[in-house]
Amino acid sequence: MRSLYTLVELGMALAVLALAQTPVAGQQAAEIQREIIDSQERLEAVRQERSRLQRDLSSLEGRVRDASSELTNVERLVSASRSVVAEIDLQVDAVGGEYQSTSRSLLVTRERLLTATAVLNRRLRDIYKRGTLHSVRVMLGAGSFSGILTRYRYLRLIASYDRTLVRRVRELETDLVQENASLQSSMVSLDRLRQSRLSEVAALRSVEATHRRALDVYHAQEETATDRLEQLELDESRINLIITDLETRRVEIERTAARGVAPSTFTTAEAGALNWPVEGDLIYQFGTEVRPNGISLPWRGIGIRAAIGTPVRAVEAGTVELAGPMEGYGLSVILSHGGGFYTLYLYLEEIDVAQGREVVAGQVMGTVGGADTPEGPHLEFQVRSSASGLPRAEDPLRWLRAQGR
């Protein structure tokens, strides 16, 4: 993209050429002095903006450091909280396993209790049905006294075993129920703790996202400020060169002013009648073009598409004031036509004329270039006029014949 001060330098060069052709040396000097003052004011404005940007950039760097530090702290907290959640998940799995194991044991114990109770109940029903004398008959059925004692002990042992079994199974059931309740309570507590930690992680993630967005904004602002600072430093250097160039050319203007005003080869009668410097389609026209993305491009001439190497011709007779590289435009030719009129032929591949030479209308001065521009191979053609003061760009289509005529 063309630099603003590349165009300023071009304007200054044409201003010097125009003032060198004015009849009054005092007026020439005054014009140059005004340009010097304007350039110095621009230089001061650039320096002030550069100083402000340096302060802003220093402040942004501090914000970036703070935001980066806060983001690092939040990331550590998020990592710690996630580790706690992972540990809680392990505990939940362990407690859940114990709960399932206890629940299975409780089912088995209840089945045993039901079985033991059923056995005891059957014996009690059997004793009730047969009567209390049945046990006596069982004991007396023994063949001896020792047999009677043995059967008595067996009967007492069976009754005691049944009662003990039922009691122990019931105690085990009670213990298992209590353990199950305790495990269930632990699982509820762990789940609450887990949900609390997850909420904490979500909140930290939100804070982290906020810091990241802020950091992105700071980085973008920092990049913009850095780019602008580099541009301002370049602008400051170029304006200094412009001021130096104006100062050194003041004497030259005063020497050449005595020559008087050269007659112009451009006349109003030729408006709309000049031949094109090269045949081709227009790819941009004089004025400001607003692209779909909202970017405005100020065109100070017209772009004519043509193949690399196509001859470029002078639209009118004139003197070659520049034949060589011009920053932002590559190889270029500037013709002075007298009376403050100039034509510019930009983005050339080759140049076939030299500075100071006279050319005639239609003479080949070079060939089309511009292959490395965004528009591709083309010629940019400009018309500048200083008839009413400093050189200003005019619409070239006002001077060129309509295509097809």
DSSP state string for 118-184: HHHHHHHHHHHHH-THHHHHHHHTSSSHHHHHHHHHHHHHHHHHHHHHHHHHHHHHHHHHHHHHHHH
344, amino acid identity: L
**What pLDDT does residue 60 have?**
78
Residue 300, classified by CB atoms within 10 Å of its CB into exposed (0-12), middle (13-18) or buried (19+), is buried
Tokens representing residue 377 in the block: 């191979």
For residue 360, pLDDT beyond 80: yes
For residue 280, pLDDT beyond 90: yes
**What pLDDT does residue 203 have?**
84
**What pLDDT does residue 351 have?**
95
- Picking from 152, 86, 163, 81, the residue whose alpha carbon sits closest to that of residue 121 is 163
For residue 1, pLDDT beyond 50: no
Give strand pairing partners of 334.
322, 344
Tokens representing residue 170 in the block: 């019931």
> Who wins on pLDDT, 348 or 102?
348
Count helices and strands in the chain by DSSP H and E runs: 4, 12
Helix axes 133-140, 145-256, angle to 10 degrees: 110
Side-chain-side CA neighbours of residue 331 (13 Å)? 18
pLDDT band of residue 5 (cuts 50, 70, 90) is: very low
Q: Are 282 and 75 in contact (CB under 8 A)?
A: no
DSSP state string for 197-259: HHHHHHHHHHHHHHHHHHHHHHHHHHHHHHHHHHHHHHHHHHHHHHHHHHHHHHHHHHHHGGG
Helix (H, G, I), strand (E, B) or coil at 361: coil
pLDDT tens column, 92-151 = 788 778 777 877 876 777 777 677 677 667 766 665 565 555 555 555 565 565 666 665
- What are the structural domains of the chain? 22-260 (1.10.287), 261-405 (2.70.70.10)
Can you tell me the distance from the alpha carbon of 103 to that of 98, in angstroms, rounded to the nearest whole number? 8
Q: Are 312 and 379 in contact (CB under 8 A)?
A: yes
Phi, psi of 191 (to 5 degrees): -65, -40
Mean of the pLDDT values across residues 293-298? Answer: 73
